[in-house]
């Protein structure tokens, strides 16, 4: 007796998509087998998001076809994708925070005007889904009261409730602790066991190796290769993504820290609504060291960056620079820059760049009063453009076009432009938030190398990142933040599980 082979869960044939002059997808053909976890990786601008947006109905291809379970279909909206059994969990969750889990589950799928009947049916379905997939979430809890890991479970439950057989997850671990990420992988394997098909988009090669069966690599809009995960390596995947050898091991010699440069004493911040965002923080950053601040996003890191860069006044406490307390008059971005403190903000597009300005003008933002850029009372346009060319060459900004608008550069190149602006002024202290957020692997390698070079020249760096691998790789010491406070201090060699517990607010004593 022979078993007939099931058709592909999803098949994309010759998908082609242009956005003006940009060729986002180039004749992409991809087959996703049913009951597998299929990884999709590539650099920024490789075409992954465009391809998934076409599959989910956000965009329509210029050319090509989509088959679901062997049948050609037209997907012109997310509603049509959902009706065909395709669900998507976005990187930034699509939940109503002041609704309960149950209310979010049925939102948009009420099925009639009698809500009590709808809720009763949904509660039964939720209980079944929780039992089948190990997705335990309290039905009556408000979304705003749930930790991020449970909010993500709600997103997965929403897709399953709507009948998803194929689940697309876009960078699903970006906001999770290591423990929450580990549980997500358990859930994904359980979904696979139950016959679901998972399409995982991530830039984290370790996750690809840990959880996928098959991985497809995209580069510059084209599909480069599809490999069985067990037959490849992270180095091989990185090479396929970038088109050259990539050094995944950061070379960083140990060195003794120098004198204290930045000292924070009992620093607290209460926001206008009375919520304590920072709670009596105490720490020191020394010359010649990278101090990493780890933590899940939303635990006070952003507020700390704003205070230390002079964008926001603390409610109480003291900040000392080279042993001298800073007054209220000192705590503004201009004075901090004049004190040789540089700042690379977390949100490069909102706080780091003026997107409509050319690269040359962005390359001097905050430093435009320097005499080197002036011609009398006016800015020296020729000097500014020449300066931008040097910075772009030194930091490998592509394309090296000073007159190109910032909005036309990829995320990684926007980040390198900001780093060039701040590092080329040779600061004594660099405060940097999420240095490689949304940045592809080739640019990550470059940025990490420049930060280590800065540290090796005796400069102090305060590094804030939600990427635990990045924190452990770059830092000489690690502080972990939870709920606005310092939960503990670790060395880079501390086991990931221990750091993860601190990130979740569980002290070493409680863990023991």
Element (H, E) at 209: helix 205-211
Q: What is the DSSP string of 210-252?
A: HH-SEEEEEETTEEEEEEEGGG--HHHHHHHHHSS----S---
What does each C-alpha distance from 85 to 78, 201, 219, 398 come to in angstroms?
A: 11, 18, 28, 40
Where is 487: in which H helix or E strand? strand 485-490
pTM of structure: 0.74
What is d(CA 180, CA 172) in angstroms, rounded to the nearest whole number?
A: 11
Residues in the chain predicted with pLDDT less than 70, given as ranges, are: 1-4, 91-92, 109-117, 174-175, 248, 438, 508-512
pLDDT at 139: 87
- Return the exposure string of 362-388: e unless at least 16 CB atoms fall within 10 Å of the residue's CB, then b: bbbebbeeeeebeeeeeeeeebbbebb
Would you give the DSSP letter of residue 67? E
> Which has the closest alpha carbon to 199: 210, 187, 214, 184?
214
Q: Write down the pLDDT at residue 115.
A: 58
Pairing assessment for the beta strands 222-228 and 214-219 based on DSSP bridges:
antiparallel
From the list 41, 43, 54, 46, the residue with the least C-alpha distance to 10 is: 54
pLDDT tens profile 242-299: 888 877 678 788 888 899 999 999 999 999 889 999 999 999 999 999 999 999 888 9
Instruction: Give the span between the Cα atoms of 378 and 380, in whole angstroms.
Output: 6
Give yes or no for a contact between 358 and 408, defined as CB atoms under 8 angstroms apart.
no
Tell me which of 3.20.20.70, 3.40.50.300, 3.90.1510.10, 3.40.50.720 is the CATH number of domain 10-242.
3.40.50.300
Per-residue pLDDT, 43: 79
Same fold yes or no, 10-242 and 260-511: yes
Element (H, E) at 470: helix 468-474
Angle at 508 between CA 505 and CA 511, to 5 degrees: 80
Contact 366, 317 (CB under 8 A): no
Return the structure tokens found at 345.
């903000």
Contacts of 143-150 with C-beta under 8 Å, sequence gap 24+, read 143/95, 143/96, 143/97, 143/98, 143/99, 143/100, 143/101, 143/104, 144/97, 144/98, 146/101, 147/180, 148/175, 148/176, 148/180, 148/296, 148/297, 148/298, 149/176, 149/177, 149/179, 149/180, 149/183, 149/184
Q: Are 61 and 16 in contact (CB under 8 A)?
A: yes
Burial of 139 (0-12, 13-18, 19+ CB in 10 A): middle
Helix (H) or strand (E) holding 393: helix 381-394
User: Closest Cα to residue 453, out of 257, 340, 288?
Assistant: 288
Structure tokens at 179: 């423990």
Tell me the pLDDT tens digit for each residue of 431-451: 999 898 767 777 788 889 999
Q: How far apart are CA 431 and CA 427, in angstroms?
A: 10
Say how many residues make up the chain. Answer: 512
Q: Where in the chain are the domains?
A: 10-242, 260-511
pLDDT of residue 1: 46
CA proximity to 155, closest of 174, 127, 135, 176: 135
Homologous superfamily of 260-511 in CATH? P-loop containing nucleotide triphosphate hydrolases (3.40.50.300)
State the chain's maximal CA–CA distance in angstroms: 89
Distance (Å, rounded) from C-alpha 250 to C-alpha 282?
29
Residue 124 to residue 369: CA distance in whole angstroms? 65
């Amino acid at each position: 007796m022979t078993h007939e082979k099931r058709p592909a869960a999803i098949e994309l044939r010759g998908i082609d998509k242009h956005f003006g002059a940009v060729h986002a997808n180039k004749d992409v053909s991809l087959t996703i087998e049913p009951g597998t976890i299929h990884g999709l990786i590539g650099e920024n601008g490789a075409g992954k998001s465009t391809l998934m947006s076409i599959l989910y109905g956000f965009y329509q291809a210029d050319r090509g076809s989509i088959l679901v379970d062997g049948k050609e279909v037209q997907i012109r909206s997310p509603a049509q994708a959902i009706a065909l059994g395709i669900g998507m969990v976005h990187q930034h969750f699509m939940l109503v925070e002041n609704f309960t889990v149950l209310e979010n589950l049925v939102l948009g799928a009420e099925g009639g005007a009698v809500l009590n009947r709808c809720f009763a049916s949904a509660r039964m379905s939720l209980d079944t889904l929780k039992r089948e997939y190990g997705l335990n979430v309290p039905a009556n809890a408000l979304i705003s009261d749930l930790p991020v890991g449970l909010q993500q479970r709600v997103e997965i439950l929403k897709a399953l409730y709507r009948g998803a057989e194929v689940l697309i997850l876009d960078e699903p671990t970006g906001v999770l602790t290591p423990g929450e990420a580990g549980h997500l992988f358990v859930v994904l394997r359980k979904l696979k066991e139950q016959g679901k098909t998972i399409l995982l988009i991530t830039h984290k090669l370790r996750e690809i190796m840990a959880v996928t069966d098959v991985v497809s690599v995209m580069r510059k809009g084209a599909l480069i290769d599809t490999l069985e995960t067990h037959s490849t390596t992270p180095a091989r995947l990185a090479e396929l993504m970038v088109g050259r050898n990539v050094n995944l091991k950061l070379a960083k010699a140990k060195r003794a820290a120098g004198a204290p440069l930045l000292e924070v004493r009992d620093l607290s911040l209460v926001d206008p609504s009375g919520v304590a965002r920072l709670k009596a923080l105490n720490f020191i950053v020394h010359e010649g060291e990278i101090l990493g601040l780890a933590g899940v996003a939303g635990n006070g890191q952003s507020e700390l960056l704003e205070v230390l860069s002079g964008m926001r006044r603390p409610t109480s406490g003291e900040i000392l620079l080279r042993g001298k307390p800073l007054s209220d008059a000192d705590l503004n971005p201009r004075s901090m820059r004049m004190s040789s403190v540089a700042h690379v903000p977390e949100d490069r597009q909102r706080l780091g760049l003026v997107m409509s300005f050319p690269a040359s003008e962005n390359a001097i933002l905050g430093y435009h009063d320097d005499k080197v850029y002036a011609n009398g009372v006016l800015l020296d346009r020729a000097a500014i453009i020449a300066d931008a060319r040097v910075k772009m060459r030194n930091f490998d900004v592509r394309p090296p076009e000073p007159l190109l608008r910032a909005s036309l550069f990829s995320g990684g190149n926007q980040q390198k432009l900001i780093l060039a602006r701040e590092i080329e002024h040779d600061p004594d202290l660099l405060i940097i938030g999420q240095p490689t957020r949304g940045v592809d692997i080739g640019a990550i390698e470059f940025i990490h190398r420049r930060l280590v070079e800065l540290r090796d020249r005796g400069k102090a760096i305060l590094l804030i990142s939600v990427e635990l691998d990045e924190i452990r790789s770059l830092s000489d010491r690690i502080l972990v933040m939870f709920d606005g406070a310092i939960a503990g201090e670790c060395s880079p060699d501390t086991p990931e599980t221990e750091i993860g517990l601190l990130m979740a607010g569980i002290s070493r004593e409680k863990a023991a």
